[in-house]
Structure 1
């Protein structure tokens, strides 16, 4: 399962740089929002990166659930 943050390898592929300083500069020049980890690694959200790159996710319309018939009905014929 993918994490919510781009991996170091993915960030290097995106920016073209392995050095964190160059990655930060690349992101800043293109006005990408990111936060830094304690180790000064730029952290970029996966959904944000998709949005900036113009990737759209296919939205599948949900059909309403079918109406279910009751499993039983009370017999009130003998109630006075």
Structure 2
């Protein structure tokens, strides 16, 4: 399962650098938004990276399933 943040390996493939300082510089030069972890690792959101790389998500409209019919109905004829 993919996480919402790019892994270290994915970030290295994206930037071409393993060193965090060079990764940060690459991201800043290309005006990518990122957050640094406590250890100084640049954290880039997966959806943000897809957007910056020009990938689009196909949104499929779905209709909700029909509501189930009640199995019984109350008899209000005897209520005063």
What does residue 25 of structure 2 align with?
25
Counterpart of 2:63 in structure 1 is: 63
Q: CA RMSD in A?
A: 1.6
Instruction: Give the alignment's TM-score, normalised by structure 2.
Output: 0.84
Q: How far apart in 2 are the matches of 1:75 and 1:49?
A: 59
Structure 2: runs of 5+ lacking an equivalent: none
**Structure 1: runs of 5+ lacking an equivalent:** none
Instruction: Tell me the matched-pair count.
Output: 79
Aligned partners of 1:65, 1:46: CA distance in 2, in Å? 31
Runs of 4+ in 1 over 3 A off after TM superposition: none
Provide the TM-score with structure 1 as the length reference. Answer: 0.84
